[in-house]
Structure 1
Amino acid sequence: MSITLTDVAKDYSSSVKIGPVTTEIQSGGVTALVGPNGAGKSTILTMIGRLLDIDTGEITVAGHDVVNTPSKTIAKILSVLRQENHFVTRLTVRQLVGFGRFPHSKGRLTIGDEKYISEAIDFLNLTDLEDRYLDQLSGGQRQRAYVAMVLAQNTDYVLLDEPLNNLDMQHAVQMMKQLRRAADELGRTVVIVLHDINFAAHYSDKILAMKDGQVIEHGTPREIMRDDVLTSIFNTDIQVIEGPNGPLAVYY
């Protein structure tokens, strides 16, 4: 089952509009949403995750209409990590990750819930940090803890809004490798908003490129990573070269 958007639109003002967007994100693998600032990437993601109301159109996830399906059902199908996280810092890593089980436990953690929490912590290499408080962690460690929380929710669909923000190159690479593993080893469908087109090309199976509130291109990295396509999307001269692990965009 896939994520489908049919004539989805969001109007902020007479001059700022998203859509109408009609597209389908196939289940499985990693799909990256890319495009310039203000293109509508985060808006589309948060509408899929039902964190933002749509004005018109329909969004379905695995056949469920996200507007009309009960929240408790949606929360067992998809999980969302927004850019802004405002948890109280005097939470430990394990306590934070435990919030991912709330749709299942309603705050009363079972042995089964604890198993999912431990598996998510281990998967994100946080075992040695699980008793640390969030304000004792580096930015990269804290971001991994938030992603572990989302994975602990154990949903087939995982939506991530710019999880590489504030990460240096090393930690950004580590994060993308872990998300790639989540798709490959855990069978999750990962939909991720990215700013770096080269990260999208290297780690994703499909790229959905947006501009001015519209989906301009949707295809494999090979289909999107072309001089003319990227130059049109980002409004700057871009040359695509063949790197050691696939196509790379060079800005000039």
Structure 2
Amino acid sequence: MRIAVLLRDHCQPKKCNSECRNYCPKVRTGVEAVVIGDSGRPVISEELCVGCGICVHKCPFEAIKIIGLPEELKSELMHQYGTNGFRIYRLPVPKKGLVTGILGPNGIGKTTSIKLLSGEEVPNFGEYDSPPSKEQVLERLSGTELGDYLTKVYAGKVRTALKPQYVDKLPKVAKGVVRELLSKVAERMSPDEAAELLDLQEVIDRPLDKLSGGELQRVAIAASLMKDADTYFFDEPSSYLDIYQRIKVARLIQSLAEEKQVVVIEHDLAILDFLADNAYLVYGSEGAYGIFANPRQVRIAINTYLDGYMREENIRFRDTQIRFESHPPRDSQLTAHLLDYDRMECDFKQFKLRVEPGTIRIGESIGVVGPNAIGKTTFVKMLAGVQEPTLGSVDRSVKVSYKPQYIAPDFDGTVLELFTATNLEFFQSGFFESEIAHPLMLRRLYDKNVNNLSGGELQRVAVAICLSREADMYLLDEPSAYLDSNQRMEAAKTVRRVMEKRGRSALIVDHDIYFLDMVSDSMMVFDGIPGREGRANGPFEMREGMNMFLKNVDVTFRRDNDTNRPRINKPGSRLDREQKEMGEYYYSGA
């Protein structure tokens, strides 16, 4: 079976010469395998296409994908978005008493599956010209678990609650203060009870458009938990949250699943591993198709995802494995100092940050951890020269490159023009192509306007721009935000590899433990009272810093025997108790 997909956001018919049609060998023999539609974009006939791939390689914008799939998948097509559009094969099935996880790259149909399962959209089985009715859908799925589930959904016997993916859009669709929004969905608990569960007491009477990303996320989760539903869908519930809040939300979702059906899409693998009972892997091609594999126990699903190969199905969906290493402590005696700073303070009246004296060494990658609103971004801004300390000073002779936490697409032009304007010589080098552009998958973005990039695309470009500047120290504030699991691992490896090969230093603020484990040599730990006062400690050797941090979070980690990845111990388990007694919160025996 062959499918032809046109990526409409990439196709730019006014800037090309219709290479896809002009070079097609079937068209040259008089067969209309490719025609130009009313919109000026090509329409590719999957029946007439011979799969030569010439149009794929000739398209200057990489807007065409011709893909061969197993013939047996033809009967498992669930939904297709028009001619040459994205399609999804198979769907997950929620189970009562279990948290069902969904794991896969961006742009591959995870959110689409939730829309189909919640009844927001109806499967069309590829019949997009004349979509089947709900009755026809149920007849076709008769005798299957999915059919039984959708029968109840369409009959109104299953109520669903959805926590949407993009919580930053919440103020645009809902006006007023937090309490008013929560009062509209107060079924299982009152707004005040929900606020106490998710630490929203201080913002419950605040307007929605005055909330931070983390506060909006917790409001959206609270609104979902308050609904009296049978099936709950949480689309990326950990975004914008710090590790403390992620663990707390995970425990709330777990308790909900004792009586309800719960489905969670999550890119933080440590949280997904801690939260879910089983997980569906989704593989395919971004913007083209997504296939749901059979469910696996969550540990096996994550290990399979990292391996990139499904043995039962004999399918390799990634060229390389993602590996985790136990970093030996660096010999700090042999590493020269890049920056020594004395005690510093930054006082905003409502919030005060105190920074203890520390040293950043040449070639060192430092992870920065701590709760939200504790001063991590303020410290990075002080090093970057964006914020001046009220006490103490920073050596400005050290050249820095800074990627801020919140990225604004303020460049009027294409991604290619942005890179050439930043550092043309470095952009044209083989080092940039092999060590930055290729792993971050930037080539397909070069012709896109910066203002039209998605959150994940903009993040990858921002990380690459930061690494492209000539500097002694690179400051990256939450570089994993908006990235899927695979992109996070690739970004972490890219940052670490660039620092090692160029002999530069980096300071990385993030909340993803896998990301920090992969990128960091040492650790800075922030503590205090969020929103009031913060204290920066370190840098410490990796193990010491993580022990200090995880003790505050009250969780312990171990290494997975097969992949060496971090895994959160079950609270109160034998291993959890033993590690806490030893004071080893970070990989006992590593």
| Secondary structure of 1:95's aligned partner | helix
Partner of 2:100: 31
Post-superposition CA distance 1:96-149 (Å, at most 9, x none): 112324xxxxxxxxxxx5943333222212123211111222210111001111
Mark the runs of 5 or more structure 2 residues left unpaired by the alignment.
Answer: 1-74, 126-136, 285-289, 310-316, 327-555, 567-590
| Secondary structure of 1:43's aligned partner | helix
Query: Sequence identity of aligned pairs in percent?
Result: 22
Give the CA deviation at 1:163.
Answer: 2.5
Partner of 2:180: 95
Aligned partner letter, 1:219 = R
Counterpart pick for 2:84 among 14, 23, 27:
14
The answer to whether 1:244 aligns with 2:549 is: no
Total equivalences in the alignment: 225
C-alpha spacing 1:83/1:244, structure 2 compared with 1 (3 Å)? closer
Q: How does 1:198-213 map to 2 (within 5 A)?
A: 198-212=270-284, 213=290
CA distance in 2 between counterparts of 1:10 and 1:96 reads: 33
TM-score, with length taken from structure 2 = 0.34
Q: Which moved more, 1:176-185 or 1:89-98?
A: 176-185
Q: How does 1:43-58 map to 2 (within 5 A)?
A: 43-56=112-125, 57=137, 58=141
TM-score, with length taken from structure 1 = 0.74
CA distance in 2 between counterparts of 1:163 and 1:117 reads: 19
Q: Which moved more, 1:233-242 or 1:193-202?
A: 233-242
The answer to whether 1:40 aligns with 2:109 is: yes
Give the CA deviation at 1:43.
Answer: 0.9
C-alpha spacing 1:34/1:173, structure 2 compared with 1 (3 Å)? farther
C-alpha spacing 1:82/1:8, structure 2 compared with 1 (3 Å)? farther
Post-superposition CA distance 1:194-230 (Å, at most 9, x none): 1233332232111111112211242112222335764
The answer to whether 1:191 aligns with 2:263 is: yes
| Secondary structure of 2:176's aligned partner | coil
CA distance in 1 between counterparts of 2:557 and 2:213 reads: 30
Partner of 1:164: 238
CA distance in 2 between counterparts of 1:62 and 1:120 reads: 29
C-alpha spacing 1:249/1:236, structure 2 compared with 1 (3 Å)? farther
C-alpha spacing 1:78/1:60, structure 2 compared with 1 (3 Å)? farther
Give the CA deviation at 1:192.
Answer: 1.1
Post-superposition CA distance 1:48-72 (Å, at most 9, x none): 1122221145546767432x324xx
Aligned partner letter, 1:182 = I
CA RMSD of aligned residues (A): 3.2
The answer to whether 1:120 aligns with 2:206 is: no
CA distance in 1 between counterparts of 2:80 and 2:124 reads: 7
Q: Which moved more, 1:115-124 or 1:221-230?
A: 221-230
Aligned partner letter, 1:95 = E
Give the CA deviation at 1:80.
Answer: 0.7
Post-superposition CA distance 1:155-207 (Å, at most 9, x none): 23210112333x15x2x551353233232267343211112333322321111
Aligned partner letter, 1:123 = L
CA distance in 2 between counterparts of 1:127 and 1:60 reads: 42
Partners of 1:96 and 1:146 within 8 A in 2: no
C-alpha spacing 1:141/1:61, structure 2 compared with 1 (3 Å)? farther
Partner of 1:69: 155
Q: How does 1:133-148 map to 2 (within 5 A)?
A: 133-148=207-222
Partners of 1:81 and 1:150 within 8 A in 2: yes
Partner of 1:231: 308
Counterpart pick for 2:160 among 75, 78, 81:
78
| Secondary structure of 1:53's aligned partner | coil
Aligned partner letter, 1:81 = K
Partners of 2:160 and 2:230 within 8 A in 1: yes
Partner of 2:248: 177
| Secondary structure of 2:183's aligned partner | helix
Mark the runs of 5 or more structure 1 residues left unpaired by the alignment.
Answer: 1-5, 102-112
Aligned partner letter, 2:218 = R
Partners of 2:100 and 2:277 within 8 A in 1: yes
Partner of 1:105: none
| Secondary structure of 2:295's aligned partner | strand
Aligned partner letter, 2:115 = T
Partners of 1:30 and 1:190 within 8 A in 2: yes
C-alpha spacing 1:161/1:120, structure 2 compared with 1 (3 Å)? same
Aligned partner letter, 2:98 = G
Aligned partner letter, 1:237 = Q
Partner of 1:220: 297
C-alpha spacing 1:225/1:89, structure 2 compared with 1 (3 Å)? closer
Structure with more relative contact order (C-alpha pairs < 8 Å, separation 6 or more): 1
Give the CA deviation at 1:10.
Answer: 0.7
C-alpha spacing 1:182/1:38, structure 2 compared with 1 (3 Å)? closer
CA distance in 2 between counterparts of 1:246 and 1:180 reads: 21
C-alpha spacing 1:130/1:161, structure 2 compared with 1 (3 Å)? same
Q: Which has the higher strand share?
A: 1
Partners of 1:201 and 1:207 within 8 A in 2: no
